[in-house]
Each structure stands twice: as C-alpha cells, then as structure tokens.
Amino acid sequence: MSTVKAIAIQPNEVRDFYDIDEGAAAYTRDLWSRDGVVGLDWHCFNDGVAPLTVTLDGGITVTIPAGGHLGMDNTKYAIITVTAVQHRLIIAGVHKRRIY
C-alpha cells in the first residue's frame, strides 16, 4: 500500500501542484519522494498508434487505446508510470510535505 493513502485530504482541497509530460518515451514520476505531493487527479491522451498503459503505485493499471484518452479524479497516488507510446499526461495533486 502506498504511504500516501493514509494522508488526510480535505474534500475539495485545492490542487497546488500541476505537471504535464508530453513525449513518446516511458515516463515515471514519484510525486511523493521528489515533490512531497499526494497525486490526486490525472488525465492521459494517447496520441500514438498502439495502446498505452498507465500504472499508479505499481497496482492500479489502466490501458488506453490508440487515439483514446482517460483520467481519474480524487485517486490518491505517489507514483505514476506511462508506457513508451506518444502521449500527453496531465497530473494534479496537493503538497503535503516540504522537500529540501
């Protein structure tokens, strides 16, 4: 279980962290270790010609068909990974730990 699952998030808490990744290379972002952020929302556009897979914390996996898009709101995660297919990934979260 991800360490961020136990962190309290208030209903409608303002997202103060946003990031976008565009590319064809595989992408992994550890929001908790790198940024002190609890990921909450994500949306991925598959701009490639093959299906791509989005994985949250190594457990929740979804497949997006070529030319499709999918996202989730209010889903706590620390690590998001996208397979190597042309994509646009938008993520949002809340800072909950200061990184020095």
User: Structural domain boundaries of the chain?
Assistant: 15-95
Q: Looking at the predicted structure, is the pLDDT value of residue 100 above 70?
A: no
The pLDDT tens digits of the residues spanning 11-49 come to 889 999 999 999 999 999 999 999 999 999 999 999 999
3-state helix, strand, coil in the chain (%, to 5): 10, 50, 40
Above pLDDT 90, what percent of the chain? 86
Do 79 and 30 contact (CB within 8 A), yes or no? yes
pLDDT recorded at residue 32: 95
Superfamily of domain 15-95: Satellite virus coat domain (2.60.120.220)
| Cα–Cα distance, 8 to 95 (Å, whole number) | 12
pLDDT recorded at residue 12: 86
pLDDT recorded at residue 98: 81
Q: How would residue 73 be classed by pLDDT, with cut points 50, 70 and 90? A: very high
* Average of per-residue pLDDT across 51-63: 95
Q: How would residue 56 be classed by pLDDT, with cut points 50, 70 and 90? A: very high
State both tokens at 78: 């620390």
| Cα–Cα distance, 31 to 80 (Å, whole number) | 8
Distances (CA, A) of 49 to 24, 30, 33, 41, 85: 11, 27, 32, 25, 8
Angle at CA of residue 44, ends 24 and 47, nearest 5°: 45
